[in-house]
Amino acid sequence: MSRSDDARATAYDASPFLPRDGGLDAYRRAAAKCQGCPLYENATQTVFGRGDPSARVVLVGEQPGDQEDRQGEPFVGPAGRLLDKALAEAGIDRGSAYVTNAVKHFKFTVPERGKRRIHKPPTLREMSACRPWLGAELDLVRPEVVVALGATAGKALLGGSFRVTKDRGSLLPMPGAEQERYVVATVHPSAILRADDREAAYAGLVSDLKVAARVLNGS
């Protein structure tokens, strides 16, 4: 990597695109024009969070997938359907939640001779570039509990030492929060679709989501 590449690389940052004030709608409109990292170049559109602006629970995924990129909404593809089912089973109403992603643009490759767009994990630089949007969403919604779906969301919320295996399923204090607000981490719904033992993986997701549900039910 040349020196000038390096200088440009360290400049990945969504902050200059954030509005100075306004509600979620103002942030959504501004995020639609974000060029804070190169991911906007090949994706169809920014996929900002959706849901109840005063939700008590926020669910955070990794980044939009193929369907989300086309439709402009988070978790509307296969992973979203699985998530909806698990949420219902855990007693969390998706309609009263706010759902978003750690990274707001779809990152993918198109294999030679292929047509299907294959998901690629975001890099640390892209994750930190996009972090201000998630920060703004959490500041505006102020949920009591945030569910981190998978490692990318976990790292965005809890820092680089986060590990799903070690940290999942328990009530963790929300970093920087002045009162009782929590993070609950679990696996990413897509990981369940790929798991050898899907049933066990799914049961694990539901059981972690129930930890968040208990906060909401005050028990």
60 binds ligand SF4 (CB under 6 A): no
35 binds ligand SF4 (CB under 6 A): yes
Report helix, strand and coil shares of the chain as percent, to nearest 5: 45, 15, 40
Q: Considering only the stretches 19-27, 108-116, 127-135, 153-161, report the one whose residues sit in contact with ligand SF4 under the rule CB under 6 A.
A: 127-135
Exposed e or buried b for every residue in 153-189, given b needs 16+ CB within 10 A?
bbbbbbeeebebeebbbeebebeeeeeebbbbbbbbb
Q: Considering only residues 67 through 86, tell me which ones interact with ligand URA, judged by CB under 6 A.
A: 68, 74-75, 77, 79-80
Q: Which of 94, 105, 155, 188 binds ligand SF4 (CB under 6 A)?
A: 105
Residue number with CB closer to ligand SF4 (35 or 217): 35
Q: Could you give the string, one character per residue 143-182, with x where binding to ligand SF4 holds by CB under 6 A and - elsewhere? A: ----------------------------------------
Instruction: Report the greatest alpha carbon distance in the chain.
Output: 56
How deeply is 213 buried, as exposed, middle or buried, from its count of CB atoms within 10 A (0-12, 13-18, 19+)?
Answer: buried
Q: Which does 186 bind (CB under 5 to 8 A by kind): ligand URA, ligand SF4, none?
A: none
Residue number with CB closer to ligand URA (136 or 192): 192
Q: Considering only the stretches 30-38, 57-65, 131-139, 199-207, report the one whose residues sit in contact with ligand URA under the rule CB under 6 A.
A: 57-65
37 binds ligand SF4 (CB under 6 A): yes
How near is the Cβ of 144 to ligand URA at its closest, in Å? 22
Give 6-15 contacts, CB < 8 A, sequence gap 24+: 9/125, 10/125, 12/36, 12/37, 12/38, 12/125, 12/126, 12/128, 12/129, 13/37, 13/128, 13/129, 13/132, 14/129, 14/130, 14/131, 14/132, 14/133, 15/132
Q: Which residues bind ligand SF4 (CB under 6 A)?
A: 14, 31, 34-37, 39-40, 46, 103-105, 126, 129-130, 133
